[in-house]
Chains A and B, each alone.
Chain A
């Protein structure tokens, strides 16, 4: 073998060995074992100065790095400084929307730290007062995971008041009012949505909500009156109209579509014609 070939083999072997060592290192490394290495990430303000007019690029690169880093599931304690990382990115370019959205998503779903996710989204909302998405996302996390409907409604109210807020935020607000057990207010809000609906989705959604809210109020009332009827006559009513004839109800309520509720005379139970879509938890 010529000297040239020996050198080529040596170079190739060296590179392969180095790659193997790197792979071995990556699989065992505790990135934050040397915490000082990560704490030394400069603040957003410092990076803004050090980027010398390329702050967009600096924020993009740090954001891209964060996506790759927080997707590395082999690093067990990767979330230790996540708030610092996203604070830095959003300090460099406060107008950049994605780091707030993706950062809060990682905090909520991967790091299981909802208060931290809400803090990041509130920062986004504070620094971008005309942007509705941050309040919307915060409202969604409160609704979906914290089950704090009052807080979620507060966020949705803020989002709905911002320019360009989509119509579904109004629907979410009304749904949250329904979830926190205020059927009268929810009915008023859904009626308003139904009367101003410009598309089928909004109209159907409002109709279904109104149907369910009304049925949820009517069915227990009917069930209560059937029980009273049963106590008085020692049998269930043959038809719902018997309740009116017995003076227990002035008139028999109908569902939101104007149809009669389904009554089973044998068991004395009353049900709605449509399936309920939403459940209060």
Chain B
């Protein structure tokens, strides 16, 4: 790894780790995951299923919040504080700056998710659930989803304000989880041009439902290994494309 990228990545990680918001969200993620025990008391039948559902949903939700809140400020803050001039005046290219920022945030997400995952595994084991390899796979898939979200927020952060970047990223996150409805939606489109347009959107927008295997791991239903492999490749390709686009935009930006 180039020293420039490494330096920016390490600094981004340190900066995120110093952020009080980061700790607050991790804390609430863990708190809500543990409070799944209370929810499981209220059900009949398989309480462990409810415990896992609620816990995984809490971890998922708070990790997405961390990814969005940290990602949207990444580039904007550097520009706003004019620290970007300092960094770019050193032997660091704009491409390295973006890649470094992404890697730093990816490391931050890995730390947050890792902490929540370890606590959740211990919590499930304490409640008699044992070690579930499926949940480990779920966390891996969630991490891939978070990488895509980080890349999306980084893209928006490179050319717009944090508020707009937040709105765009959250919108894409929500759309990304209902992409499966497209096949039904297209039946309502009578004009062929609209069909082509929506078809193009379908392939352009991130299909985050690919990474959502909560239902399968909790209910213990079969997972298709090919589908997992394709999801991994999809995440890598999508992140690569978004980073390239971010670099393109960032290269053209003029700082005043």
Chain B residue at minimum C-beta to C-beta distance from A54 = B57
* Residues from chain A with Cβ under 8 Å of B43 in the complex: 60, 63-64, 67, 98
In angstroms, Cα B208 to Cα A64, docked, is: 28
Chain B CB within 8 A of A181 CB: no
Q: How long is the Cα–Cα vector from A102 to B44 in the complex, in angstroms? A: 8
Residues of B within 8 A of A (CB-CB), count: 27
Binary interface encoding of chain B residues 31-43 relative to chain A, with 1 for a CB under 8 A from any of its CBs, else 0? 0000000010011
Kindly provide the distance from the CB of A129 to the nearest chain B CB, expressed in whole angstroms.
13
Counting CB contacts under 8 A, is A53 at the interface?
A: yes
* A52 is an interface residue with CB less than 8 A from chain B: yes
Interface hit among A89-97, A155-163, A189-197: A89-97
Main secondary structure of the interface of A (DSSP, over half): helix
**44-97 of chain A: CB within 8 A of chain B:** 49, 52-57, 60, 63-64, 67-68, 93, 95-97
Chain A residue numbers with a CB within 8 Å of B44 are: 67, 98, 102
Please count how many residues in chain A sit with their CB below 8 Å of the partner chain's CB atoms: 19
Complex interface residues of chain B between 123 and 172 (CB less than 8 A to chain A): none
A-B pairs under 8 A by CB, number:
58
**Does A219 sit within 8 A of B, measured CB to CB?**
no
> Is B218's beta carbon under 8 Å from chain A?
yes
Contacts of B181 in A (CB 8 A): 49
B174 A57 Cβ-Cβ under 8 A: no
Q: Which of A232-248 contact B (CB under 8 A)?
A: none
List A contacts of B53 (CB < 8 A): 56-57, 60
B224 within 8 A of partner (CB): no
Question: Does B46 belong to the interface (CB within 8 Å)?
Answer: yes
A101 at the interface (CB under 8 A from B): yes
Counting chain B CB atoms within 10 Å of each CB, the highest count among A53, A63, A96, A102 belongs to: A53
CB distance from A107 to the nearest CB of B (A): 14
Contact between B177 and A53 (Cβ–Cβ < 8 Å)?
yes
Q: Could you say which residues of chain A place their CB within 8 Å of the CB of B101?
A: none
Contacts of B35-78 to chain A: CB distance below 8 A: 39, 42-46, 49-50, 53-54, 56-57, 60-61
Residues on B with beta carbons closer than 8 Å to the beta carbon of A96: 49, 219
A53-B177, A67-B44, A98-B45 known; A60-B39 Cβ under 8 A: yes
User: Looking across the interface, which residue of chain A has its beta carbon closest to that of B52?
Assistant: A56
Knowing that A53-B214, A60-B43 touch, tell me 15 more A-B residue pairs with CB under 8 angstroms. Answer: A49-B178, A52-B173, A55-B215, A56-B53, A56-B56, A56-B214, A56-B215, A56-B218, A57-B57, A63-B43, A64-B39, A64-B43, A93-B215, A96-B49, A101-B45
Name B residues whose Cβ lies closer than 8 Å to a Cβ of A: 39, 42-46, 49-50, 53-54, 56-57, 60-61, 173-174, 177-178, 181, 208-209, 212, 214-215, 218-219, 221
- Complex A-B, nearest 8 residue pairs according to Cβ-Cβ distance, in ascending order: A98-B45, A53-B177, A56-B53, A57-B57, A52-B177, A64-B42, A53-B212, A95-B219
List 11 A-B residue pairs with CB atoms under 8 Å apart, sorted by A's residue number: A54-B57, A54-B61, A57-B53, A60-B43, A60-B50, A60-B54, A64-B42, A67-B43, A95-B221, A97-B45, A97-B46
